[in-house]
Structure 1
Amino acid sequence: MPLSPLEHDRHYGELDQVIRAYVGQSADDTPEKPSRALIAYLRHTWHTRPWALAAAETQLREYARNPPGRLRLRLGEFYAIPDVGLPEADIQEWLSCLAEHIKHSIETGEAPPPAAPATHWEWHARFPELAQFLGGWFSQDMPDEFDDHEAAVDDYVTGSHPQLVARLVGEVRELLALDLDESDYALALAELGMEVDPPAPYTPSGWLALTADRLEGPRPDYGPPPQTDTK
């Protein structure tokens, strides 16, 4: 039978986070140099959950030393490493290489400096509520669901807990604080799930600033719900 959520997280939870960082990226780590994906994982984790690095190193090394045997494969009680573009025979050595890089980072305290996200995984890990907002309310179907961008923002605010709205405002302000070029802000919006252009005449950063101001304003008040005549 498949692993329970508890067993999965206990043995493979942080290993899974490391592997997810390689979606759309090359697993081209060498003993001398970590890959772009691993640098992104280290940067984000060092600055948000530094204690998780030791768990990642342990789980990677344990999986490399003891890959699932025939019984666990037959029962489905194992973590399946997604395809990262490497031959199956090279996976164990690659996992050990990742563990060594993480161990070195922990022992030396060498962490990638703060910077704009460099991978799809890092964008979503750093700005999760913004990704939810953009992907859920500004997909390609937005013009069919809402009259305009303002209506979509109002719908999000109306249906979301104030704490989530506040978290979204913080993430938008943090993104703006990166002080990127407009082309990079456009890329960031796309990475985070936005499939429509900002409304004219706003640039991507201008629309983000406008949206943050709107989110911080009073919540829409549509009055009491209509009374239903039960007679």
Structure 2
Amino acid sequence: MPLKPREHDAKYGELDQVVRAYLGQPADDDPERPSAALTAYLRHTWQARPGAIATAERQLRDLAENPPGRLRTRLGEYYVLPDVGLPDAEIPGWLLVLAEHLKESVEQGRVPAPETPQTHWEWQARFPELGQLLGGWFSQDMPDEFADHGAALADYLGSTAPSVIARLVGEVHELLALGLDDGDYGLALSELGMEVDPPAPYGAGAWLVRLSAHLTGGAGGTGEGPALRKP
């Protein structure tokens, strides 16, 4: 039978975060240089959950040095590594390289400098509630489910706890604080799951500004009003 959630998290939970940071990214780490994916993992995790890095190192090392035996493989009681584009024979060595980079980061204080997210995983990890809003309410199905962007936002606000909405407000402010140009804000919205264009006449950056104003301006959570409408 598959691993139970508690056993999975205890043995592989943080390892899974590391490996998923490689989805869509090359696993091209070498002993002298971590990949862009691992750098993104370190950059975010140092800021959000620094204690998790040592846990990730231990779990990576354990999996590399103690792969599942035939019995656990037959029963399905093992961690299924996502495809990272490497041959099976190279995976243990790659995991150990990652573990060494994490160890050096902790022991030597090698912390990547803060910057704009560089990978899909990092965008999602840094702005989880904004990703939930954009991916859940502004997907390609939005025009079939809601009259317009305001109606979609009203549905989100009406079904989401105030404390979570407050977290969303902080994430929108943090994204705007990056000071990106409109094209880069468009890329950010796409990475966070938005599959429809912002409402005319707004570009991506201007719509985020209007969204921020709506969330903090007391529009009553209806999704109506000037914040998401044309001037």
What TM-score, normalized by structure 1, do the two folds share? 0.93
Are positions 1:113 and 2:131 aligned together? no
Q: Which moved more, 1:139-148 or 1:202-211?
A: 139-148
User: Is the Cα–Cα contact under 8 Å of residues 157 and 221 in structure 2 kept in the other structure?
Assistant: no
8 Å Cα contact 2:154/2:221 also seen in 1: no
Say if 1:158 and 1:184 are closer, same or farther in 2 by CA, change over 3 A. same
Aligned to 2:53: 53
- 1:42 alignment counterpart: 42
Cα deviation for residue 218 of structure 1 reads 2.9
Q: Using the alignment, how far apart are the partners of 1:154 and 1:216 within structure 2?
A: 14
2:65 aligned residue? 65
2:104 equivalent to 1:104: yes
Deviations 1:144-166 (A, max 9, x none): 22221112111211111111111
Q: Which amino acid aligns with 1:102?
A: L
Q: How much does 1:85 deviate?
A: 0.4
In the alignment, the residues of structure 1 paired with residue 104 and residue 31 of structure 2 have an alpha-carbon distance, to the nearest angstrom, of 11
Matched to 1:99, the amino acid is A
| Distance in 1 between residues matched to 2:221 and 2:160, nearest whole Å | 14
Residue aligning to 1:26? 26
Alignment partners' CA distance in 2, 1:157 and 1:217 = 14
Alpha-carbon distance in 2 for matches of 1:2, 1:26: 28
**SS of the counterpart of 2:200?**
coil
RMSD of aligned Cα (Å)? 1.2
Q: CA deviation at 1:12?
A: 0.6
1:54 CA drift (Å): 0.5
Judge conservation of contact 1:157–1:219 (CA < 8 Å) in 2.
Answer: no
* Shift in Å, 1:62: 0.8
- In structure 2, the partner of 1:195 is 195
Question: Over residues 21-64 of structure 1, what are the superposed CA-to-partner deviations in whole Å (9 max), with x where a residue is unaligned?
Answer: 01111000001110010000000000110000000000001111
**Which secondary structure state, in structure 2, belongs to the residue aligned with residue 33 of structure 1?**
coil
Number of aligned residues: 222
1:165 is the counterpart of 2:165? yes
The match for 2:77 is 77
In 2, are the aligned partners of 1:158 and 1:219 still within 8 Å (CA)? no
Distance 1:69 1:130 in 2: 41
User: Following TM superposition, where does structure 1 have runs of at least 4 consecutive aligned residues deviating by more than 6 angstroms?
Assistant: none
> What residue in structure 2 maps to residue 225 of structure 1?
none
Shift of the alpha carbon at 1:219? 5.8
Separation of aligned partners in 2, 1:22 and 1:93: 16
Change (3 A) 1:23 1:17: same
* 1:137-216 alignment runs, 5 A limit: 137-216=137-216
State the Cα deviation string for residues 118-146 of structure 1 (Å, max 9, x = none).
Answer: 10111000000000000111111111222
- Give the AA of the match of 2:35: S
Asked which structure has the greater CA Rg, the reply is 1
Distance in 2 (CA, whole Å) between partners of 1:98 and 1:192 is: 26
Identity of aligned residues (%): 65
Structure-1 residue corresponding to 2:217: 217
1:123 paired to 2:123: yes
| Alpha-carbon shift at residue 3 of structure 1 (Å) | 1.1
Per-residue CA deviations over 1:72-103 (Å, capped at 9, x if unaligned) read 10111110111110000000000000000000
Q: Which moved more, 1:195-204 or 1:39-48?
A: 195-204
